[in-house]
Structure 1
Amino acid sequence: MKFVLKEEKGFIYIDEGKGDVLLLLHGLMGALSNWEAVIDEFKDRYRVIIPILPIYDLPLLTTGVKTLSKYVHRFIRHMELENITLIGNSLGGHVGLIYTLAHPERLKSLVLTGSSGLYENAFGGSFPRRENYEFVKEKVEYTFYDPATATKDLVDEVFITINDRSKVLRILAMAKSAIRHNMAKELHKITMPVGLIWGRNDKITPPEVAVEFHQLFPQSKLYWIDQCGHAPMMEQPEEFNRILKEYLGTLKVDPVKQEV
């Protein structure tokens, strides 16, 4: 990471640039580095903030998406943030959805990319061969359209994480919490503009998930990225940034439901 990590009051985060706030939330196996290209592109015009979600630090009995949402709320209050565009990938999107329902007054818009909340085909209920490096490598490659996006550094990081017993127990607890917390019946309550940026080749939250999100939100725009899997901001960063810039521009006009 080339950006400075700040730490205060128990929060660890990146805070770059000035202007309207883009608050980025990473996924279950994600990291702040997943968002590097977004920070680079937007920090000259926006204040880009990324908190580390304490997935591995929560008590096992309270490890879940609602607990992370409460953490995000404490962080936002601590930072005194308002008029936020919240952008979440995978589990981060799910946490963002829960936060949005609870505290819509803090947000201007929500952007989801490969978000859970309706359906996800993740690692599954266990890691039966977590000590097998090739098995882990295949699972990480499954996240992307182009397996080469799963660099050795990324595979190494996941391999180390899931072979830490404390961490893997929390990953499984968080994944099960996300599966249980289906949000289909609540999404109509989110009346602010929502941007959906989706990889057409996402195998974890497939394209039909994006279509369902689009149908359930009162105001949403759906954008597709070809040859792209579950983490568009990593696999197709230039196209992701182009679309995000286009979407942010639409917030200045009356939003409409549209697929692009």
Structure 2
Amino acid sequence: MTYEIKHQDKFSFIEEGEGEPLVLLHGLFGALSNFEPLIGYFKQYYKVIVPMLPLLEMDLLSTSVGGLAKYVHKFIETRNYENIHLLGNSLGGHVGLVYYLKNQSPRIKSIILTGSSGLFENGMGDSYPKRGDYEYIRKKTEYTFYNPAMATKELVDEVFEITNNRLKVIKIIALAKSAIRNNLGEELSQIKLPTLLIWGNNDNITPPFVAKEFNKLIPNSELHFIDKCGHAPMMEVPDEFNAILHKFLKKLSEPATVA
């Protein structure tokens, strides 16, 4: 399915549907394809927005979790969204958290994290990324999922192309190091918003204990594990992911019951 990419100022983004904004932030090797089942389902109920994060386009000094958080802040202010449900996968979750913690923006209504970095993540290995080794890249891409068949040739080709570009590799390493340095453990208790954690029980990158730690540190959070699922639940088990997310969002829109 193809979606129209819109442009405003320096921002490129997808915006589908009407209603409260559901803003989706992708990870380091993420792309629009990661969110296609989610967009297709939720555009019936919400305004689904995917900003194209300039992970590998920013100057090297700005290539950090903090630099991306500033970009998200400027994007949201430029578009003037309100009552936002902010969803991030992997590095996108980390960026969303840093954005919120730095701004405590009243524009945000809830936070949804899936396989988020910010506390702990397994890298792709000390030698990663190996340039020119297609088989190595294929295995590392498969490692992201419970079902290795999710690592399609198209997906592996995308990652291979990125890791074969020297400047892009430098920026990937800069972002990965920034994510490790930017540990949010001491700050997460400041998040009072309703927070949903959806995690793959077989996530190799941010294992289940990371989800439990997020759940412990974020006061108003609820945690759901999905079996036979890796680091990108919205791709690997979209129906189950969408059902959990929709139930959470519907609960937020219900009027509070008076005791």
- Normalised by the shorter chain, which TM-score bucket? over 0.9
How far off its partner does 1:124 sit? 3.5
> What letter matches 1:12 in structure 2?
S
197-206 vs 4-13, which moves further: 4-13
CA distance in 2, matches of 1:221, 1:250: 12
Q: Which residue of 2 aligns with 1:79?
A: 79
CA distance in 1, matches of 2:7, 2:242: 27
How far off its partner does 1:8 sit? 2.1
CA distance in 2, matches of 1:175, 1:85: 25
The structure-2 alpha-carbon separation of the partners of 1:239 and 1:10, relative to structure 1 and needing over 3 Å to count, comes to same
CA distance in 2, matches of 1:9, 1:92: 22
99-108 vs 44-53, which moves further: 99-108
How far off its partner does 1:27 sit? 0.1
State how 1:84-233 maps to structure 2 within 5 Å. 84-104=84-104, 105-127=106-128, 129-233=130-234
Q: Contact 1:115–1:205 (CA<8 Å) still a contact in 2?
A: yes
Identity percentage of aligned residues? 56
Q: Which residue of 2 aligns with 1:258?
A: none
Q: Contact 1:204–1:230 (CA<8 Å) still a contact in 2?
A: yes
Query: CA offsets per residue over residues 81-131 of structure 1, 9 Å max, x none?
Result: 111000000000000001111233110000000000000002134426331
How far off its partner does 1:61 sit? 2.0
94-103 vs 191-200, which moves further: 94-103
How far off its partner does 1:58 sit? 1.1
Aligned to 1:112, the other structure's residue is in SS state strand
Q: How many corresponding residue pairs? A: 255
CA distance in 2, matches of 1:254, 1:136: 49
How far off its partner does 1:62 sit? 2.1
Q: Contact 1:200–1:206 (CA<8 Å) still a contact in 2?
A: yes
Task: Determine whether 1:65 maps to 2:72.
Answer: no
Q: Contact 1:145–1:229 (CA<8 Å) still a contact in 2?
A: yes
> What letter matches 2:128 in structure 1?
F
Q: Which residue of 2 aligns with 1:32?
A: 32
Structure 2 unmatched ranges of 5 or more: none
Q: Which residue of 1 aligns with 2:17?
A: 17
The structure-2 alpha-carbon separation of the partners of 1:23 and 1:128, relative to structure 1 and needing over 3 Å to count, comes to closer
> What letter matches 2:36 in structure 1?
E
Q: Contact 1:125–1:172 (CA<8 Å) still a contact in 2?
A: no
Q: Which residue of 2 aligns with 1:41?
A: 41
Q: TM-score normalised to the size of structure 1?
A: 0.95
Query: CA offsets per residue over residues 164-192 of structure 1, 9 Å max, x none?
Result: 11111101100000000000000000011
CA distance in 2, matches of 1:72, 1:154: 25
Query: CA offsets per residue over residues 206-253 of structure 1, 9 Å max, x none?
Result: 000000000001100101111000000111111111111111122236
Q: TM-score normalised to the size of structure 2?
A: 0.96
Q: Contact 2:129–2:163 (CA<8 Å) still a contact in 1?
A: no
Q: Contact 2:134–2:160 (CA<8 Å) still a contact in 1?
A: yes
Q: Contact 1:111–1:196 (CA<8 Å) still a contact in 2?
A: yes
Q: Hey, which bits of structure 1, 4+ residues long, moved more than 3 A?
A: 252-255
> What letter matches 2:23 in structure 1?
L
Q: Contact 2:120–2:206 (CA<8 Å) still a contact in 1?
A: yes
> What letter matches 1:16 in structure 2?
E
CA distance in 1, matches of 2:217, 2:239: 28
Aligned to 1:205, the other structure's residue is in SS state coil
How far off its partner does 1:254 sit? 9.1
CA distance in 1, matches of 2:103, 2:133: 43
| Aligned-residue RMSD, C-alpha | 1.3
Q: Contact 1:125–1:176 (CA<8 Å) still a contact in 2?
A: no
